[in-house]
Amino acid sequence: MPKTNDYELPVTQDKRSRLKWFGIAVLSAIVVITATLSFFHIHNEEAGLSVRLQKQQKLLATSRQEAINNWLQAMADQGQRLINADLFRLFASEVNLLGDNIGSLYAEEATQPDDSTLAQQLPMMRNLLDEFSTYAGFSGGRIINRFGQTYIATNANVSALSQQQLNFVNKVLTKPDVYFSPVHNSSNGLTFDMFLPVYPPEFEGDTTKPVSVLMLSKLVSGKITEIISSSPLAEQNTTTHLVQKKGNMLQDILPWQPDGLIAVNSSFATLSADTLPFAVRNNLTTSGRAYSYGIKIPNIDWWVVEEISYDAARAELTSTIRTTLVIAALTTGAFALILVLLWRLLVSQDTKKVADNFRKLAMTIKEQKMFLDSINDTIPDYIALKDNEGTYQYVNPAFATAVGRTVEEMKGLDDTAIFGYATANRLASSDQLVNMSEEHINTTETIFLQSQRYVMQISKAPFFNADGAVSGIVSVFRDITAAVEAEEQRKATEQQTIAALASTIEHIDPYLGGHTRMLEALSIELARSLNMNDAEVATIEAAANLSQIGKLFVPREILLKPDALTTDEKREIEQHALHAERVLSNIDFGLPVVETVVQMTEKMDGSGYPHHLKGDAIIAPAKLLGLTNTFCALIRPRAYRPALSIEKTFEILRDMENFYDPEMIAALERLLSTRFGEKFIEEVSAA
């Protein structure tokens, strides 16, 4: 008999060959089955992803469409209450009898009694419209006759109607209804106009045509931002866009962007129907592809478009595909290993050795389990498992130590027992979201453990049982307190540095003492009264403190000269804006602080310095700071003149409407009539 090794059975070569081909056939069948199951699993996952995204985007788009429609309807209802008043209808009807000659409305002495009555009523009607616009939150309003002439307006300096506005007026007169214009940029942000028909007092149904049109202007940056902001139910990386159709062009309305309106990619899609079907298409404004769905807002050329990056949406699916392929490979390998072990078993004469191998395998598995447990026990992050009732079933030692209990004591407790009632309520909200979505979420919470404050980044994921149902939540707490406190300290240091620079600047010129603090307080309050956003207010606050930094490089004898400056001296002083730009340009403020400091000396008509910018080329924070800086300078004494009174200062500013934004001048005058303004004037007088 031939000698065999420890792993061979005394079998014939023919039998061994048959066993080998049998094993190959079984392994091939396993490969085919595994590949088929993997293909169907990946296909079903991809189909499920599309269905889930479509449902989510349709739900989000529909809810935001309803919110926008309700908002527009509420504005229309406000306007209807004004124009349904008999006083307005009667006045509009009488003005309509004047035809296109409305000059008598503004004559000091009317030639006819009826005209005199209308002229006397005009101021009252203007006041009523102004009060209504202010109370209802509109930035302006006007009433236009059927010849396109404005005869009542809230703004004394009425600009001519644009061709687009005239087209809407004619549209209302031809086909009476409420219409909204496309959104456009203004000095205070994004604005659009609403047009409503004004009927005579005897109006009955469709038998009478409008005699005038009411046009109301509305600042919409804040409201649009509120409506399209992220929803907690939205997929991560999902963005909501409000797209408007202006002529043949599509624009993405982005109030938080400097331009406000961004042109949509021409390759995106054609918006003509009430619904943009869910599909994979090009991104709205960037390169690449995305899943998107859109729905039109009734009565206005706006579409709510929900979009999520193609790669981001499929990230989890890609991971699933990779995992499926790995599992398929491991399954095939496992079966191959089993076949090899069977082969070994059949051809081996030493079954004891095979048993030893299995024992060693069991020991290896046990050692690996112990190794994984040791890693889990030494991880500094807090790891916990709660059941569906919110009771902790497992915590790692790091979590138990932070709470001041043992691991065994932690089992059976809930969030209220560990963190307190208020924190438990906040954590319960995110737990509910995990249970509803059956997906992981990340949140940041401030909690107290053993009377010590922690800022935790918490990752939560559903824990599934053998039946595939959610039976609990796995939470991982990561302590980011040090990072948060470092960022807070950095911001505080930045503010202290800016304050120190402002103090240094004021010491070079005794007439600048207190100027920076006065300028900062007045500018911030004016910005808020104009409904500027938080980023613009923060920009104005920092720029006000640094507004005079360039004067550090201007000779002191020029700054304090009591006589009139020569041309060369004026040119030298005007260099302070460029000095400021050079000093501040290398500092990353994260906001347009440097641009504001440099542009605050520009004028609306281009006569300012250093770059002679005009109109909208000057950013809004710089326009505001330029106005308040001039105001604060006029009411304070200087080397070459005494301080001016508030009344005299506003006379000078009103004569400078070609230098500064007239609306900002008016807003500043209104601000000083408030309680804040009275206190501000008292402090200036006391100083």
What confidence category does residue 447 fall into, taking pLDDT thresholds of 50, 70 and 90? confident
For residues 440 and 531, state if they share a domain: no
For residues 474 and 608, state if they share a domain: no
For residues 446 and 563, state if they share a domain: no
Q: Which one-letter DSSP state was computed for residue 638?
A: B
The residues that bridge with 477 in the sheet, in sequence order, are 382, 458
* Tens-digit pLDDT profile for residues 159-171: 889 899 999 999 9
| Nearest by Cα to 529 from 678, 649, 661, 674 | 674
CA dihedral 631→637→639→641, nearest 10 degrees, is 80
Q: Are 184 and 168 in contact (CB under 8 A)?
A: no
User: Cβ atoms within 10 A of the Cβ of 291, count?
Assistant: 24
Residue 66 lies in a domain: no
Q: What is the mean pLDDT of residues 126-132?
A: 90
Q: Residue 192 sits in a domain of what CATH number?
A: 3.30.450.20
Query: Which of 187, 219, 251 is where one domain is finished?
Result: 219
* Segment (H or E) for 455: strand 452-464
pLDDT of residue 7: 43
pTM of the predicted model as reported, rounded to 2 decimal places: 0.45
Round to whole Å and give the CA distance between 128 and 584: 48
For residues 152 and 93, state if they share a domain: yes
For residues 451 and 411, state if they share a domain: yes
Residue 294 lies in a domain: no
* Segment (H or E) for 582: helix 576-584
Q: Residue 667 sits in a domain of what CATH number?
A: 1.10.3210.10
* Tens-digit pLDDT profile for residues 486-543: 666 666 656 666 666 656 665 655 555 568 888 999 999 999 999 999 999 999 999 9
Query: Which of 479, 510, 528 is where one domain is finished?
Result: 479
Residue 461 lies in a domain: yes
For residues 436 and 515, state if they share a domain: no
User: Cβ atoms within 10 A of the Cβ of 95, count?
Assistant: 24
Q: Which contacts of 388-395 are long-range, i.e. CB under 8 A and separated by 24 or more positions?
A: 388/435, 388/470, 388/471, 388/472, 389/414, 390/414, 390/415, 390/428, 390/431, 392/418, 393/472
Residue 611 lies in a domain: yes
For residues 526 and 420, state if they share a domain: no
Q: Which domain range does residue 508 map to?
A: 485-686
Residue 21 lies in a domain: no
| Residue 353 DSSP SS3 | helix
What is the Cα gyration radius of the chain? 37
For residues 428 and 536, state if they share a domain: no
Q: Comparing 148-157, 352-361, 481-490, which segment has the lowest mean pLDDT?
A: 352-361
Query: Which of 430, 445, 479 is where one domain is finished?
Result: 479
| Nearest by Cα to 385 from 366, 359, 413 | 413
CA dihedral 31→34→37→39, nearest 10 degrees, is -70
**What residues contact 565, with CB distance under 8 A and at least 6 apart?**
558, 573
Whether 675 has a pLDDT exceeding 80, the answer reads yes
Whose tokens are 């109030």? That residue is 255
Residue 68 lies in a domain: no
Q: What is the mean pLDDT of residues 159-187?
A: 90
Cis amide bond preceding 610, omega within 30: yes
Round to whole Å and give the CA distance between 294 and 281: 12
For residues 498 and 644, state if they share a domain: yes
Residue 97 lies in a domain: yes
For residues 498 and 568, state if they share a domain: yes
- Count of structural domains, the chain: 3
Q: What is the mean pLDDT of residues 208-215?
A: 90
Residue 515 lies in a domain: yes
Q: What is the mean pLDDT of residues 68-88?
A: 89
pLDDT of residue 234: 59
pLDDT of residue 109: 40
User: Cβ atoms within 10 A of the Cβ of 493, count?
Assistant: 10
What confidence category does residue 182 fall into, taking pLDDT thresholds of 50, 70 and 90? very high
Whether 172 has a pLDDT exceeding 60, the answer reads yes
For residues 496 and 559, state if they share a domain: yes
Whether 148 has a pLDDT exceeding 80, the answer reads yes
Q: What is the mean pLDDT of residues 470-493?
A: 76
Task: Report the alpha-carbon angle 644-645-647, nearest 5.
Answer: 125
Round to whole Å and give the CA distance between 343 and 621: 81
pLDDT of residue 346: 65
pLDDT of residue 602: 95
The residues that bridge with 392 in the sheet, in sequence order, are 386
For residues 529 and 550, state if they share a domain: yes
